[in-house]
Structure 1
């Protein structure tokens, strides 16, 4: 999926192409791009047309012209302009342009003739059906982006009204004198509103999903079970919280469970799962709290401990049973135990450094580090070679405060190609913490590392390296530095290196 910056870049590119004489309609050029592309296109067209002699023959260009009179004339002259550009003009700073655009938008959306070859409709992905709700659905992300402008809230208000069925769709916008008694004939049907809301709720655009959730919740459309299922299916934390809060409110009001609690507990979002754990108490299922003591999310574990204590249980005893019992120990059981353990439990955590499961070893090492427990340097150096990436990473974090006292030759050896990528990364992190010529040697050596992440970090370090400072401080011989510089220039190019002068010329 493209980022907002990439969409904006495509919008600017389309504007540049139009100014160079590109004959492809803008709606076709920006087909499939997000709202940022249209906003960037409008801003770039306005910028380019500020230069003297800029061509203004194309209607798309005139619709984005810096002169408000030209923008208004373009709206009047164009029969079927791109709905996105008209929507942008609906938030125009010039009142005359703004009012005319709002009338035109009503005609485009509510009364546009349906033709399969209509480029404006193709750009909105409108199928062969006279359903204005489809056009409104496509325009919603852009309307929400424009909502923050001085005159941009108008479009959002109209979308909310259309979804609520309070008045006609858009016919009244382009015919201000239309009697209110005829609005109901032009309003979206209940089926259209429901389908539009479902499309908005399933959009890949997060602000659009939040808007759909807000409108749906204001209408009181769903019961606790459906609200919880929507919360569990959501991937955006803010939207998930909206559905979750509504589900909890419905349960608190005495509504039927309808599987709401189980749906919340099955969510991938920690905030939603935590709410589900809390809801267990109201549902009379507090005894299930121990199932969530080893949840991956700290907030869920905290809620489970709270619920357990409310029933008179002791989270510490449950965690101790998880770590010392015959069952399989999990990494998050170790993390949860460390959150309630006392100083007397440090030996137990040390013992887990020899556990056969790598994630468990990493979690135990992380717990010891957070508790400030000392682990012998030889043990930590050995754990840099651990098959588990999390264990090697935690070992490096343990050693980082004392990196200057470590033998650079030992660390440099661990950056060799025979070691696992996570071992090379951990050793390089320590060399970076140590600094000096040892870090420079490792950085140059890792410029060709097969691991992309390690290679990128090495390039960043070499590109920013102050070679003259290294020479002046006498950390390396001139000949050695010259060789390292030559190898670095071979990989990066001399233009990327931070050189003020060449002392080896």
Structure 2
């Protein structure tokens, strides 16, 4: 799948080919590309025609005239065109010239609208208009581009019309077909409920994130779906913003229509923490507050907080339940330890120290983090031993615990743990402590690790060496001149030649 920049680049390429004489239809070449391709095509044609000294070969093509810098030429192209690409017409609907905007909006309405006569097809052929038997499909295809144009000075018109059509407030199609008439006169010509449902389905499942956000916002505002469908979409949505929109709509639907166990279960199954948190709070209204204990060990702190609140509202005690979990070797888990940390005090430290020897590395890491968060001290010898833990998360938490007292551990012992025979996470933790220690110990370790097989460690080490103040280290007497000279010679491969000569 192309990125927005790649779509824009392709649009500029098509524009260049058009002006150089490429006879292939622009709509066919840009078919299936994102809205950025059409916008870039329009901007590139205008740029080339504005600054070209002569007249490019393809400047007489209608597609080029519709993007011409002169507004009169753009308006004339709209009037002369029988089958214009709707994307270019939509861009002209946000044109800076009022006459072009009005003409483009009229043309777009004529193309999309269903003419209210018995023999509609014959009438449309008589008017030389392209056939649009399924206006919902046409409008659906225009939504992503309309949303991109919505940020322009006159780009909000199309978005407002699409919202009105999807919401069923008035007849978008009739308003475009007969701009001067009241919309209520043509209300029978609006999109049908089935058409609007089909549009919502396509827009809500679109790969374009702004389109999904638009569909969710409009569907929530007009009450398109019930609580269960809203909750299902919230649980399966990949974009957090859109998921929040569906979630709020589901909660509002349940507040208006009563509890819905299916909707609550769908919210609780989501991968996003805000959606699951909403599901936990909805348990109370559904009469299922007792289920809060199942979410006290959720992987997200927000969900755990909602579960504690709900349990307290129901008369329960989160502390007692979590305390029983962390003291039971069969049931303890990393998230149980994290949840216990959120309700524990310093006096509960004795319950956490034994977990430093738990067979599960995630539990050991969570116990270290909980002890540090409670302000409790773990002996330096224990933390140094945990630097060599086979679990990377335990080693990282041990380094964080020693970082505030990085000058206390023996520098040579830390340097030994940066050797290539140690796992990457152990080398990373030791190097972090040496950097926190500073001085010549950090310099020695950085020079030694410039060629570390771990790319992250090697990059940090080289960056430290390049930015090191060698003269300050020499002046402070932290290392002998001969040692600094040897380190400088080893570091020469990453230093700038002029800088090296100065040193």
Which bracket does the TM-score occupy, shorter chain normalised? Answer: 0.7 to 0.9
My pick for the range that moved more, 158-167 or 325-334, is 158-167
Residues 1:444 and 1:222: Cα distance change in structure 2 (over 3 Å): same
| Farther off after superposition, 248-257 or 347-356 | 248-257
Distance 1:4 1:208 in 2: 14
Indicate the larger mover: 410-419 or 286-295: 410-419
Question: Is 1:308 aligned with 2:311?
Answer: yes
| Cα distance in 2 between the residues matched to 1:170 and 1:21 | 36
Please tell me whether residue 361 in structure 1 is matched to residue 359 in structure 2.
no
Q: Runs of 5+ in structure 2 lacking a partner?
A: 116-120, 122-130
Counterparts of 1:26 and 1:417 in 2: how far apart (Å)? 58
Matched, 1:482 2:485: no
Match of 2:34 in 1: 34
1:414 aligns with 2:421: no
Deviations 1:206-230 (A, max 9, x none): 3222221222223223332222222
Instruction: Assess, with a 3 A threshold, how the Cα gap between structure 1 residues 334 and 19 changes in structure 2: closer, same or farther.
Output: farther
Matched residue, 1:465:
466
Counterpart CA distance in 1 for 2:448 and 2:12 is: 40
Question: d(CA) in 2 for partners of 1:304 and 1:224?
Answer: 22
- Which one of the candidate residues 250, 253, 265 is aligned to 2:256? 253
Taking structure 1 as reference, are residues 458 and 108 closer, same or farther at Cα in structure 2, changes over 3 Å only? farther
Partner of 1:267: 270
Q: Per-residue deviation at 1:152?
A: 1.2
Residues of 2 paired with 1:413 and 1:23: CA distance?
Answer: 70
Unaligned runs of 5+ in 1: 115-127, 489-496
How far 1:447 moved relative to its partner?
5.6
Instruction: Give CA-to-partner distance per residue, 1:72-115, whole Å, 9 cap, x none.
Output: 34434544443333322211221122122222333454589x9x
- In 2, the alpha carbon distance for the partners of 1:32 and 1:442 equals 54
SS in 2 for 1:325: coil
Change (3 A) 1:237 1:66: same
Give the 5 Å matches for 1:108-187. 108-110=111-113, 130-170=133-173, 172-173=175-176, 176=179, 183=186, 186-187=189-190
8 Å contact from structure 2 (residues 136, 199) kept in 1: yes
Task: Give the paired residue count.
Answer: 480
Check whether the contact 1:436–1:470 (CA below 8 A) recurs between aligned residues: no
The residue number in structure 2 matching 1:491 is none
Counterpart contact for 1:471–1:477, Cα < 8 Å = no
Q: Deviations over 1:59-84 (max 9, x none)?
A: 54444444333433443454444333
Against the structure 1 CA distance between its residues 346 and 50, is the aligned structure 2 distance closer, same or farther, given a 3 Å change threshold? farther
Equivalent position of 1:397 in the other structure? 400
Q: Deviations over 1:431-450 (max 9, x none)?
A: 44445565566556656555
- CA distance in structure 2 between the partners assigned to 1:163 and 1:201 by the alignment: 12
CA 1:395–1:7 in 2, change beyond 3 Å: closer, same or farther? Answer: farther
Query: Please, which moves more after superposition, 285-294 or 396-405?
Result: 396-405
Distance 1:29 1:404 in 2: 65
What are the superposed Cα offsets for residues 455-476 of structure 1, whole Å, 9 maximum, x if unpaired? 55556x26x9336x32564366
- Indicate the SS of the match to 1:387: coil
2:327 is matched with which residue: 324, 327, 338? 324
- Whether the 8 Å CA contact 1:48–1:54 is kept in 2: the answer is no
User: Cα 1:61–1:400, aligned 2, differ >3 Å: closer, same or farther?
Assistant: farther
Conserved 8 A contact 2:352-2:367: yes
TM-score between the two structures when normalised by the length of structure 2: 0.82
Q: 1:340 aligns with which of 334, 339, 343?
A: 343
- Equivalent position of 2:230 in the other structure: 227
Give the distance between the partners of 1:342 and 1:35, measured in 2 at CA.
55
Whether the 8 Å CA contact 2:447–2:487 is kept in 1: the answer is no
- Note if 1:214 corresponds to 2:238: no
Cα 1:479/1:150, change in 2 over 3 Å: same
Q: Please show how residues 200-211 of structure 1 align to structure 2 within 5 Å.
A: 200-211=203-214
- Structure 1 contact 11–39 (Cα < 8 Å) conserved: yes
Which sits farther off after the overlay, 15-24 or 137-146? 15-24
CA–CA distance in 1 between the matches of 2:63 and 2:385? 66
Please identify, of 187-196 and 336-345, the stretch whose mean Cα deviation from structure 2 is larger: 187-196
Once the two structures are superposed, what CA deviation does each residue of 1:26-56 show, in whole Å capped at 9, x if it has no partner? 5555554433444344445544544352755
Q: What is the aligned partner in structure 2 of residue 427 from structure 1?
A: 430
Asked if the contact 1:59–1:74 (Cα under 8 Å) also holds between the matched residues in 2, the reply is yes
Residue 94 of structure 2 aligns to a residue whose secondary structure is: coil
**Could you list the runs of 4 or more consecutive aligned residues of structure 1 that deviate by over 6 angstroms after TM superposition?**
19-24
Q: Is the 8 A contact 1:466 1:499 kept in 2?
A: no
Separation (CA, whole Å) in 2 of partners of 1:132 and 1:447: 63
Structure 1 residues 429 and 78: alpha-carbon distance in aligned structure 2, compared to 1, 3 A threshold:
farther
What corresponds to 1:503 in structure 2?
501
Which structure would you say has the larger Rg? 2
Structure 1, 69-78 or 442-451: larger mean CA deviation = 442-451
Please give the root-mean-square deviation of Cα atoms over the aligned residues, in Å.
3.6
